[in-house]
Copies of this chain bind each other. A is one copy, B any other.
Amino acid sequence: VNEADFLRRLRTLPLHPGAAGLADDVAVIRGLVVTLDTLVEGVHFLAQDPAGDVAWKLLAVNLSDLAAKGASPEGVMLSYPLGDDGWDAAFLDGLAAALHAFHCPLIGGDTVSIAAGMPRILSLTAIGTGEAVPRRTGAKAGDRLWVTGTIGDAGAGLAIARGAPGPAALLARYRRPVPRLAEGRVLAPHVSAMMDVSDGLLIDAARLAAASGLAASIDLARVPLSPALVEWGGEAMAAATAGDDYELLFTAPAGFEPPVPATCIGEMLAGEGLSLTYRGEPRPLPETLGWQHDARLR
């Protein structure tokens, strides 16, 4: 049973109406926006990543799902496997820093004991409040496709975490991502669809297009790269297929001027699938569009 099959079978179970058929990253339950993301050592983070950074990332990836729905964090529930004393203490320090940074209180949770050397599985449930909750499914043909911030920094940061030379600023984008909470709140009432970029710009754009029943076209020359990434030697195709950006990907009608810094990278079209250009010239799709859930850091 792979993830897609499992998800298909979950959809045959009794679903809450607010689950929207499990087609989005969040559910809306009695006005609250809820999401759950789990991180596995060796899959979503490296065994050598500092525990405090893992705590930060666990919170950030969940709040990024709230950000993509224009929601504000109400609080989080933690499932934590107690193991090594030093790791646990550093985890708590990183969690405290992230809760303070994102103005997000702890609601509760559960701790369990695991045997030494067992890979950690950490899970967080985030609850938020939001008014306009944009889905992945609402894009229209002719809408433009936008992304906040810059893409690919975290992918370079992962290479640096694994030993490649490179600046601390890129490493920080991988280890301590900052969810676009303020941007999400400002954008939510205006966009036709929105999601966060977690597995790679191309794969997430393809998912948004599929959820909306459309095709998407992206011009690689317009993918926003940071000066630090360009100096490091990063290029657009690698950036657009790396994961962990936690930027917001959204669609809006032609002529829309985003009220926050964002870059128009393409458009939504009738049809299906993803197509790429470079300054208008067609380019072939890469072999993989981004992180597949079964692959990640393996």
Interface flag for A151 (CB, 8 Å)? no
Contact B13 A81 (CB under 8 A): no
Contact A14 B105 (CB under 8 A): yes
Which residue in B6, B77, B112 is a CB contact (below 8 Å) of A80?
B6
Which has the most chain B C-beta neighbours within 10 Å: A9, A22, A88, A111?
A: A111
With A36-B109, A75-B29, A107-B19 as known contacts, state yes or no: A1 contacts B89, CB within 8 Å. Answer: yes
Which residue in B13, B35, B106 is a CB contact (below 8 Å) of A10?
B106
Q: Which of A20-67 contact B (CB under 8 A)?
A: 22, 26-27, 29-32, 34-40, 42-44
Which residue in B32, B107, B118 is a CB contact (below 8 Å) of A118?
B118
Contact B19 A92 (CB under 8 A): no
Residues in chain A within 8 A of chain B (CB atoms): 1-3, 6-7, 9-10, 12-19, 22, 26-27, 29-32, 34-40, 42-44, 74-75, 77-82, 85, 88-89, 92, 95-96, 99-100, 104-115, 118-119, 121, 123, 125, 127, 129, 293-294
Q: Please, could you name 25 A-B residue pairs with CB atoms under 8 Å apart, sorted by A?
A: A1-B88, A2-B82, A3-B111, A6-B82, A7-B111, A13-B92, A13-B96, A14-B106, A16-B75, A26-B108, A27-B77, A27-B108, A29-B32, A30-B31, A34-B77, A34-B108, A37-B110, A38-B79, A42-B115, A43-B112, A43-B113, A77-B125, A79-B123, A121-B121, A123-B123
